[in-house]
Structure 1
Amino acid sequence: MNSSKNLVLLLLGLFIFGCHSDDSKNTYTIKGKVGNGYAIFDPFMTDSLLTAKYITRVNLISGDQIIASTTDDEFEFTNLEEGKSYMVVPQSIKKGFMGTTAIDFVIIRKFTEGIDELNTWQKKMAADVNLDNHINQADLDLVYDCLLNTPCTATSFRFVTDNFDGNGVGFIDQFLIPNLNANTEVNFLPIALGDVNRSF
């Protein structure tokens, strides 16, 4: 009788311990920065210097919900549950092309006409100002409109992870962590749209 009672108590204890251990999950941090640390001149505001803090919002998404957000150029999202999927998404909150001139318009036009090449991924990304992954007349029209009209409401920047090479390594516009199981760091670099000759 005593042995049966002891066995029941042992099984009950193991069950309670098992339930408790399942409930305790590790938490981790996702952190990083946007930009290369240098201030940049804002052509739309006289004598104004910008850092990534003023041009970027970084959202942390889980499922289909934004669960955290910051406009600091260095971000840190803490107490994130182990095993969940998270996506870090930097967004441009500054509108209008920065550093775009008539020279950029000519460079893009020559590319669309087959006269000259855009020989780096940075130039190709900067030329795709309407973000449709094609460089064509639609991009030229948008650059032309923004050169003639102010304020320009086009998106100012796209963002790539700092290991992006244009050949399949790195991420554009977002960084996905499908199963968080460690502290993670990801850094993004801004690409000024329209500024093909990188005068900005």
Structure 2
Amino acid sequence: MRLLLATRNAKKLVELQRILDAALGGGAVTLVGLGDIDEYDEVPETGLTFEENALIKAREGARHSSLPTVADDSGLAVDALNGMPGVLSARWAGLTTGDQATKDRANLDLVLAQIADVPDAHRGAQFVCAAALVLPDGREFTVSGQMRGRLIREVRGAGGFGYDPIFVPDRQPEGESRTSAELSAAEKDAISHRGEAFRALAKVIATQVPQD
């Protein structure tokens, strides 16, 4: 089956393809991104929740491509910032130009600066993901996932993306305190907010998306 993932983030495409292959079997789903279809004007993510933004993106993708479309909206909710940056996570620093890595680093650096004076014991946070599936016939499905952890003060690790290098997940073997960026892909998928959400979505895809 062929699915559109409504993103231009190549790392998200790789991550979701990996999770769907593990959940549904390799070759069951062929995932394409926005760069693989005819370009269309993407609408702003104006939702006040992760779920609303995921649905906005998935609806537009399905409408323009006539493909079953998956979209997610994910972000970091920092306790000391009253749950922010939340739905603004991807554009927290306000950069509108530059490559994704530059934007990610600017967002990360701003969060670190904003909680610089927060004691280690109060640097709790969680990653949140809402994932949506919209079918060309108009049916819509949403799921969600969370990953609880804490923020450290310096960047560690070369994997992942976004805020991964400063986020230490709670769910790790005893005695370990690796950041999400230091985990292997398989380790991260097993505990991450996106892994949890997309595994739930894979079950929906298997039962609701017509087979080619």
Is the TM-score greater than 0.5?
A: no
Structure with max Cα Rg? 1
Higher helix share: 2
Ranked by relative contact order (alpha carbons within 8 Å, sequence separation 6 or more), the top structure is 1
Structure 1 length-normalised TM = 0.30
Structure 2 length-normalised TM = 0.29
